[in-house]
């Protein structure tokens, strides 16, 4: 193992698309691999390393390049490290599948330890949001602030429609299925940006994800002593669950919670409504703790 791609040639094609998406950041950054017991994890770093670290975990099949509409704003406040989740589409090279929540936490713990970060701000979109909270529940001492953008599952069961849209995409990987799925995620009814779309299509066509964790709803008992300052953003047009109900459930579980429903946004809120998301995230990161 070590690659989710069907061949070296298709892997190279995907990496070419990945780099084109990366050009959209319009920023100088660095990148490196971190060795973990689940394989080599690819990390992109942007901003001033003397600033506090913010770790970003992307949505499923999206890779760290999905943050191109957010990075320029976020580096005003933090040094940002976008991590390609090992086993998902991206540049990480898995050797072992992450099969459950405990394994996911072990992987992220190894990444943070290798970076020598004792405490970080942690943010994630969709699957990345689920994995971020999952980690914060087990290792609250390692997370100073938590930012959740339309987390998958987490506070409310994912609708059956989500699986009906995504699984055919993974099975048939035709452009039509892929476009349909992402149009469904769009609050504006717009397709993905052509450069990013080319990368996503290349991933679906040429790779088989090895990430085997299913986003679920966290049990009430897990939040007993949870007090990490948390930001939760969900679009009012969210399709994977009802936004108001997910937020109401979250408020019952997290005492120190700031929530916003983003008008006109659906699941692709970090890309389509980047201005609002960036503004809310930055204001939240600027708030004094305690």
Between helices 194-206 and 8-23, what is the axis angle to 10°?
A: 160
Q: What phi and psi values does residue 146 have, to the nearest 5 degrees?
A: -125, 130
Q: Which of 58, 125, 206, 267 is catalytic?
A: 267
Q: Helix-strand-coil percent breakdown of the chain, rounded to 5?
A: 40, 20, 40
Write down the H helix ranges in the chain.
8-23, 71-74, 101-115, 127-138, 160-172, 175-184, 194-206, 243-253, 269-272, 274-286
Q: What phi and psi values does residue 217 have, to the nearest 5 degrees?
A: -95, 130
**Active site annotation includes 260:** no
Give the dihedral sign, CA 196/200/201/205: positive
Cα-atom radius of gyration of the chain, to the nearest Å? Answer: 17
Task: Answer whether 82's CB lies under 8 Å from 64's CB.
Answer: yes
The residues carrying an active-site annotation are: 267
């Amino acid at each position: 193992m070590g690659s989710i791609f069907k061949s070296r040639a298709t892997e190279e094609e995907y990496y070419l698309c990945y780099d084109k998406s990366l050009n959209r950041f319009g920023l100088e950054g660095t990148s490196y691999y971190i060795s973990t017991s689940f394989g080599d994890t690819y990390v992109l770093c942007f901003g001033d390393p003397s600033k506090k670290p913010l770790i970003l975990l992307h949505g499923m099949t999206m890779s760290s390049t999905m943050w191109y509409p957010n990075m320029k704003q976020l580096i005003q406040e933090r040094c940002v490290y976008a991590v390609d989740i090992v086993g998902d589409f991206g540049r990480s090279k898995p050797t072992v599948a992450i099969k459950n929540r405990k394994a996911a936490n072990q992987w992220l713990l190894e990444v943070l330890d290798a970076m020598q970060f004792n405490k970080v701000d942690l943010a994630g979109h969709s699957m990345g949001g689920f994995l971020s909270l999952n980690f914060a529940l087990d290792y609250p001492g390692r997370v100073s602030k938590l930012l959740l953008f339309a987390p998958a599952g987490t506070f409310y069961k994912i609708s059956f429609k989500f699986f009906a849209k995504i699984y055919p995409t993974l099975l048939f990987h035709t452009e039509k299925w892929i476009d349909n799925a992402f149009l469904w995620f769009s609050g504006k009814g717009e397709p993905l940006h052509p450069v990013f779309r080319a990368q996503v299509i290349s991933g679906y066509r040429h790779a088989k994800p090895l990430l085997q964790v299913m986003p679920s709803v966290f049990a009430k008992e897990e939040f007993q002593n949870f007090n990490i300052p948390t930001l939760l953003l969900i679009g009012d047009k969210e399709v994977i669950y009802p936004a108001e109900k997910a937020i109401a459930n979250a408020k019952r579980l997290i005492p120190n919670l700031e929530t916003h429903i983003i008008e006109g946004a659906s699941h692709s809120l970090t890309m389509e409504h980047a201005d609002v998301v960036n503004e809310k995230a930055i204001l939240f990161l600027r708030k004094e703790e305690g």
